[in-house]
Amino acid sequence: MVSNATALGRHGLHDWLLLRATAIIITFYVFYILAMLAMIEHITYNTWKAFFQLPFTKVFTCLTLISILVHGWIGLWQVLTDYIKTLAIRMLLQLAVVVILFVYAIYGTIIVWSA
């Protein structure tokens, strides 16, 4: 059994609920984008830009970005704790994943809100 050294007090139910919630948000976002694509006859740069300038789209995109990062973090945390048994290596890899996901969150938010 893997110790709970890097789980920060989380429980399996908490992760399960977060995975389901983030998957639902991501699914709704995909439907939102598909609905936009279905309603617009000709997609041009200007229509795409106008769509992403809507405040609802910006907020929904950022929420989806955060959901993807949380979903990815939980999945990678589970894989690393299952397959990397050496604590030092696992902690180093988890730190690298956290840094990368944090950079993605900042960079993605800057891109969404600068559109």
- List, as residue ranges, the binding site for a ubiquinone: 83
Which residue numbers belong to the known binding site for heme? 71
Structure-derived torsion over alpha carbons of residues 40, 41, 43, 47, reported in degrees to the nearest 10:
-50
Which residue numbers belong to the known binding site? 71, 83
What Å distances lie between residue 84 and 8, 10, 72, 89, 101, CA to CA? 18, 19, 17, 7, 20
